């Protein structure tokens, strides 16, 4: 029954994960589609505005050429006298001598008639000197400040009597006409950014929810064993005939004491993490002989090792003393050795090494286990995270051990990392910088 329940929960979790991935995929496709359509719409609108403004300029310039031709009683050349050289530069063939004052008057009147409000500069070709004679810079705002571009407008070899006109702010004028469209596009982009941010928040909350659910499940299993043992032992020692068997009474009383200590350790572990998260890490720094402490902790583990288990030490005498909190540094080493023994599989071999790296001190904890995949290296120090093992739950834990180690190392201003170069097993490295 319990196996069926576990399989159902696993199947339900997998289905929910697929639904979330499907929603995220649809959201991503929608965002890409919206941005593509909006970009295309902006591009088309820009082209339309540019084409409309260019056509208005051509109509105005053609009207100017016709008025100058009538004024000088000459005829315009065959076809359209206006030639667009670049996106913002036009030349106009008038087939007669041009008066600058008359040209400027006609330009202003025609542009005003067609509501063309943009800066422009004009120049008239002088056939005697074979150069463009600079006319003036006309500001659409009508201010007295007239920036001089300084460079002569380029000549056009196909015409003899013509003037050139350039619109340096043509793109700005088009952009100004599309201000409202840009404003709504900006609102759309901001909305999309918030939508993407919301998706990331949802995914993060989902991941945290899964981690917390696993933590609660693991905690439930961890507490269930000692509680069951205490319950059974309590039932035994409450039997009337137990007083006649002192050895049996002592045995079950010992079980209750041991399991009670185990429960206290589990509760203290959770409360310790809660205190750490509230910023209540208080370090009592003292000088500690590092090699001596590691040797003592290793000896404590040696007494409980199974046949075939092994802990090797390679301690450099150059290490000497370090400044640390005795309680927390002991817990760090205990957690790392305990993890190595639990996850290394059958006949684990643990190697603890200390060495000097210039002035820094390195402590290495290596095991011969299956190792940790590189994709999990950055996550193993996160709260509640445990390396996935499918439906196998033979190793219990809260996923708090390495998180605690990381927090305490950070409080000591030490660095802890997993060596990503090892091909077999895992190697955790603590680097203690020189003071």
Spans of all domains in the chain: 42-177, 285-432
Placement of tokens 């004052």 in the chain:
101
CB contact set of 399 (below 8 Å; sequence gap of 6+): 211, 214, 215, 218, 383, 384, 385, 386
What pLDDT does 90 receive?
92
Most confident by average pLDDT, 183-187, 220-224, 301-305? 183-187
3-class SS of residue 351 = strand
Q: What is the CA 140 to chain-centroid distance, rounded?
A: 46
Pair 419, 429: CB distance under 8 Å:
yes
Q: What is the mean pLDDT of residues 328-337?
A: 85
Q: What is the mean pLDDT of residues 89-97?
A: 87
pLDDT at 352 exceeding the cut of 80: yes
pLDDT at 111 exceeding the cut of 60: yes
Give me the percent of the chain exceeding a pLDDT of 70.
81
Identify any residues that bridge with 132 across adjacent strands, giving them in sequence order: 125
Closest CA relative to residue 366, chosen from 425, 298, 290: 425
Architecture (CATH level 2) of domain 285-432:
2-Layer Sandwich (3.30)
Q: What is the mean pLDDT of residues 172-197?
A: 83
Q: 356 or 149, which is more confident?
A: 356
pLDDT digit string (tens) for 243-272? 777 888 888 787 787 777 767 766 766 676
Helices (H), 122-178: 170-177
The tokens describing 363, both together, are: 């402590």
CB contact set of 302 (below 8 Å; sequence gap of 6+): 311
pLDDT digit string (tens) for 201-253? 877 787 777 767 766 766 676 677 678 778 888 888 888 777 777 888 888 78
The tokens describing 50, both together, are: 């540019």
């Amino acid at each position: 029954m319990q196996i069926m329940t576990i399989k159902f929960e696993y199947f339900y979790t997998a289905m929910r994960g697929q639904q979330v991935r499907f929603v995220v995929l649809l959201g991503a496709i929608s965002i890409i589609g919206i941005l593509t359509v909006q970009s295309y719409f902006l591009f088309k609108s820009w082209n339309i505005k540019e084409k409309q403004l260019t056509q208005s300029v051509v109509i105005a310039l053609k009207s100017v050429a016709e008025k100058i031709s009538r004024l000088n009683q000459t005829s315009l050349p065959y076809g359209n006298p206006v030639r667009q050289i670049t996106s913002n530069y036009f030349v106009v063939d008038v087939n007669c001598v041009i008066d600058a004052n008359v040209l400027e008057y006609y330009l202003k009147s025609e542009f005003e008639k067609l509501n063309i409000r943009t800066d422009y500069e004009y120049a008239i070709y002088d056939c005697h000197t074979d150069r463009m004679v600079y006319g003036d810079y006309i500001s659409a705002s009508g201010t007295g400040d007239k920036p001089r571009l300084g460079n002569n407008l380029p000549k056009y070899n196909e015409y003899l009597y013509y003037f050139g006109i350039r619109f340096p702010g043509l793109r700005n004028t088009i952009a100004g006409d599309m201000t409202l469209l840009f404003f709504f596009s900006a609102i759309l982009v901001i909305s999309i950014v918030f939508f993407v941010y919301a998706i990331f928040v949802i995914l993060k909350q989902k991941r945290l929810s899964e981690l917390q659910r696993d933590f609660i499940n693991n905690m439930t299993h961890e507490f269930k064993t000692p509680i069951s043992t205490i319950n059974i032992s309590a039932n035994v020692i409450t039997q009337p005939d137990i007083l006649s068997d002192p050895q049996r009474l002592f045995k079950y009383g010992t079980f209750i004491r041991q399991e009670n200590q185990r429960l206290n350790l589990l509760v203290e572990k959770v409360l310790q993490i809660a205190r750490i998260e509230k910023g209540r890490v208080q370090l009592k720094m003292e000088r500690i002989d590092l090699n001596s402490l590691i040797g003592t902790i290793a000896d404590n583990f040696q007494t409980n090792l199974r046949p075939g288990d092994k802990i090797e030490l390679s301690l450099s005498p150059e290490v000497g003393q370090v400044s640390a909190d005795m309680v927390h540094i002991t817990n760090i080493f205990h957690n790392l050795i305990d993890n190595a023994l639990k996850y290394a599989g059958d006949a684990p071999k643990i190697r603890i090494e200390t060495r000097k790296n210039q002035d820094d001190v390195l402590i290495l904890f290596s095991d011969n286990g299956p190792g940790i995949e590189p994709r999990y290296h950055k996550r193993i120090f996160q709260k509640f995270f445990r390396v996935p093992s499918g439906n196998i739950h033979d190793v219990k834990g809260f996923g708090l051990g390495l998180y605690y180690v990381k927090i305490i190392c950070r409080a000591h201003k030490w660095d802890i990392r997993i060596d990503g170069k090892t091909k077999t097993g895992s190697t955790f490295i603590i680097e203690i910088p020189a003071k």
